[in-house]
């Protein structure tokens, strides 16, 4: 027995099997705890990263929707610039072409215009006028200085077919000028009285009635038609800008995107589409911060005739004069009501008043009510469009909090993520002044050296249009604009006058009736919102000249985001749907005005393309076609005389000034080989903003920014300005 016990005892002491199991049993709980911790932390990090990435994408989506609306606003603002350029060209170039020298009128024909720097006899009035097409304008003691700086509008000259041979009332560059068009806002909606107004060309329909005595009233009506037509056009375009901007600025929690939908819906779908199931199912809080509705930057009430705080209207007070025969109507008449309608001779009817009073007075009376100072609330008061307040920064913030269910968690874990993204790189248009002081709601600068475009007329005081008065007319207050930054001449240029005057005199016989109804709207033009000349072949030639006058120039490329194909990229399926969901209320209805040159129907000189799709590239093509086309009545020298203009649709790359990165996406240095270049133009089925499928772009891009950046100080007011905080930083509650 002892031996047996001894053997068993010795065996148990030497047998070590089962020890690992004991250790495992002892440390299993610790290992499981570590395992649970790894899983817990891993899932926590996973859900947190997913939450932040999803919020980043949602903010990026919101800023992208902001940028799309701002791009549409920017291009519409550029359309106002083009409309202003057209009016200025009509006043300074078309309205003075009759002053330039001609040979004595050939029998039954129109004068032959000279392109020479020599002095030539201008015909019936015997005036000798120096003429050239070199850039610059007469200054100091030159006898033509007054003509170039303060021209008097006169349209009663050949080659217009209604003007009789030998009419010479426009010939003298000096002579009596009557100040009529001090300011030309529209004050009564869509001109319901248009149907009863007389046609301006009724006076000229019977050539034998055209005489020097008719010049004053006739020129007043023609110039009034052009300026009132501009006011309606820019007013319509401002209504679209204000609708888009105010609908982006009504609530800090949402805004309307370019398709007319609530941006919050797309932001939420972007968030949900990128969430993990745990984050999606446990979303506790979701907030949006729309900066363009915050504080003074937001909508002040949704008034369709005023923009929100982040935009400021650039109201102007242009001066224009029309020519009148010396001795007719006195020498100091400053108002159309003082015009003497009586011709100096009886017209054979026994009533010396019948000619002018019957045919012109109703039209003059009609226009006069819209050529007077208007209240600040009128959207149709003349303007250069809008300027973007840099102290109202555009961005979108997104905040989300979730409580995802995580295994082995000791309690509920709440995750939070905040992200901000902002549009950048685009330009809605130039500031009127070169500086914008912090807290001020418009740019500052009045002198020529203090303004972005020193050639434009005086700006009206912010919020007090009635105080915008100008004593006398000078080069600063007269209609004009810069062709490039720092342009000292603008449309005073003899090169512009000379090049276009040649073309005008070689058009054939265009009709003054080709502009019939531009001051009334679509009712008088067969349903067309069309500012341009329209009629027979000679009238369409005039239309081509007008289109050429508005093509992008170097100043435009520097200060505006221009889309070469706005119709396909922003209007079709986007803005047209927007306006169906959010119609613009206007007396007589509202029809959106597209790029100048487009028509609702019929040929728009766009090479057979649908008329409404006429775009900036088409404008550039029309302008290009005028060079070397002397057989067709044109020969505009864009290459050596008018080099400021961008012509030919192949040059649409020049508007592609948007930001573009290096080939590797981690580098943000400018790639000069790709900037403003288009490696592959977008096809008809690829409506890409800017019209370039691969390469440069135009308009606003989008980037993520931090809350510290938005809360910090910035120098946004121009060169030499002080730093300050923006007017619309994120709310503290949003950042908590």
pLDDT digits (tens, 9 = 90+) for 367-426: 665 554 444 567 888 889 999 999 999 999 999 999 988 776 666 788 999 999 999 999
Q: Up-side HSE of residue 690: CA atoms within 13 Å toward CB? A: 28
Rounded-to-integer distance, Cα 324 and Cα 339, Å: 10
**pLDDT confidence band for 196 (50 / 70 / 90):** very low
Closest by alpha carbon to 108, among 156, 172, 171, 161? 161
pLDDT at 140 over 70: yes
Q: pLDDT at position 126, please?
A: 33
pTM for the complete prediction?
0.86
Q: Which H/E stretch holds residue 618? A: helix 616-625
- Which segment of 204-213, 235-244, 546-555 scores lowest on mean pLDDT? 204-213
Closest by alpha carbon to 241, among 572, 519, 467, 578? 578
State mean pLDDT over 320-339: 47
Q: Which H/E stretch holds residue 492? A: none
State mean pLDDT over 549-570: 95
pLDDT digits (tens, 9 = 90+) for 68-103: 999 999 999 999 999 999 999 999 999 988 876 443
State mean pLDDT over 202-213: 44
What are the structural domain ranges in the chain? 59-521
Rounded-to-integer distance, Cα 76 and Cα 521, Å: 19
Q: pLDDT at position 209, please?
A: 41
| Contacts (Cβ under 8 Å, ≥6 apart) of 529 | 233, 236, 521, 522, 591, 593, 600
Backbone angles phi, psi at 195, to 5 degrees: -70, -25
- Which segment of 63-77, 163-177, 179-193, 564-578 scores lowest on mean pLDDT? 179-193
CA distances in angstroms from 669 to 320, 422, 672, 715, 718, listed in the order given: 48, 19, 9, 22, 23
Q: Is the dihedral of CA 140, 141, 144, 147 positive or negative?
A: positive
């Amino acid at each position: 027995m002892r031996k047996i016990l001894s053997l068993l005892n010795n065996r148990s002491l030497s047998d070590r099997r089962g020890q690992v199991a004991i250790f495992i049993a002892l440390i299993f709980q610790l290992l499981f705890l570590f395992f649970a911790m790894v899983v817990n932390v891993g899932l926590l990090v996973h859900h947190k990263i997913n939450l932040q990435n999803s919020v980043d994408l949602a903010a990026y989506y919101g800023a992208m929707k902001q940028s799309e609306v701002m791009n549409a606003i920017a291009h519409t603002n550029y359309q106002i610039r083009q409309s202003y350029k057209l009016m200025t060209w009509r006043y300074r170039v078309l309205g003075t072409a009759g002053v330039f020298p001609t040979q004595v009128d050939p029998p039954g024909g129109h004068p032959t215009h000279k392109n020479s720097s020599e002095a030539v006899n201008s015909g019936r009035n015997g005036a000798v006028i120096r003429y050239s097409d070199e850039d610059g304008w007469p200054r100091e003691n030159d006898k033509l200085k007054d003509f170039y700086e303060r021209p008097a509008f006169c349209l009663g000259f050949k080659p217009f077919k209604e003007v009789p041979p030998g009419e010479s009332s426009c010939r003298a560059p000096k002579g009596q000028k009557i100040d009529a068009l001090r300011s030309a806002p529209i004050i009564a909606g869509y001109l319901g009285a248009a149907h009863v107004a007389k046609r301006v060309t009724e006076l000229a329909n019977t050539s034998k009635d055209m005489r020097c005595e008719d010049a004053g009233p006739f020129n007043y009506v023609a110039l009034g038609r052009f300026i009132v037509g501009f006011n309606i056009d820019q007013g319509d375009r401002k209504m679209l800008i204000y609708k888009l901007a105010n609908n982006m600025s009504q609530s800090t929690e949402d805004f309307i995107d370019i398709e007319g939908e609530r941006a919050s819906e797309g932001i939420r779908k972007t968030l949900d589409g990128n969430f993990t199931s745990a984050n999606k199912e446990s979303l506790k809080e979701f907030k949006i911060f729309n900066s363009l509705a915050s504080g003074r930057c937001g909508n002040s009430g949704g008034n369709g005739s005023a923009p929100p705080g982040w935009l400021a209207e650039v109201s102007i007070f242009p001066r224009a004069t029309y020519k009148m025969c010396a001795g007719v109507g006195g020498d100091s008449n400053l108002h159309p009501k003082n015009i003497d309608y009586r011709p100096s001779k009886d017209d054979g009817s026994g009533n010396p008043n019948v000619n002018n009073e019957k045919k012109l007075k109703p039209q003059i009376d009609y226009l006069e009510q819209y050529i007077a100072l208007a209240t600040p609330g009128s959207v149709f008061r003349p303007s250069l469009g809008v300027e973007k307040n840099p102290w109202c920064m555009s961005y979108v913030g997104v905040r989300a909090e979730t409580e995802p269910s995580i295994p082995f968690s000791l309690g509920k874990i709440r995750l939070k993520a905040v992200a901000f993204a902002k549009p950048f790189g685009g330009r809605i248009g130039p500031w009127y002044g070169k500086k914008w002081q912090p807290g001020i709601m418009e740019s500052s600068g009045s002198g020529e050296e203090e303004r972005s475009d020193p050639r434009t007329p005086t700006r009206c005081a912010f919020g007090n249009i009635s105080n915008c008065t100008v004593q006398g007319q000078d080069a600063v207050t007269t209609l004009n604009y810069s062709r490039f930054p720092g342009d000292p001449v603008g449309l005073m240029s003899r090169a512009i006058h000379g090049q276009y005057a040649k073309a005008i005199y070689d058009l054939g016989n265009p009709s003054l009736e080709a502009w019939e109804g531009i001051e009334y709207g679509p009712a008088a033009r067969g349903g067309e919102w069309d500012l341009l000349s329209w009629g027979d072949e000679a009238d369409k030639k005039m239309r081509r000249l007008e289109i050429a006058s508005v093509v992008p120039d170097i100043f435009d490329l520097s200060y505006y985001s221009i889309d070469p194909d706005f119709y396909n990229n922003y209007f079709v399926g986007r803005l047209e749907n927007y306006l169906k969901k959010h119609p613009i209320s206007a007396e007589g209805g509202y029809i959106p005005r597209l790029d100048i040159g487009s028509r609702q129907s019929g040929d728009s000189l766009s090479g057979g393309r649908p008329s409404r799709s006429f775009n900036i590239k088409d404008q550039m093509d029309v302008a290009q076609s005028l060079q070397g086309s002397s057989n067709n009545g044109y020969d505009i020298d864009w290459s050596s005389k008018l080099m400021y203009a961008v012509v030919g649709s192949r040059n649409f790359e020049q508007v592609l000034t948007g930001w573009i990165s290096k080939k590797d996406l981690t580098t943000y240095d400018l790639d000069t080989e790709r900037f403003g270049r288009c490696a592959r133009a977008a096809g008809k089925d690829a409506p890409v903003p800017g019209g370039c499928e691969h390469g440069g772009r135009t308009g606003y891009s989008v980037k993520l920014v931090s809350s510290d950046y938005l809360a910090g100080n910035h120098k946004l007011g121009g060169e030499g300005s002080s730093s300050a905080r923006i007017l619309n930083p994120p709310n503290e509650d949003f950042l908590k």
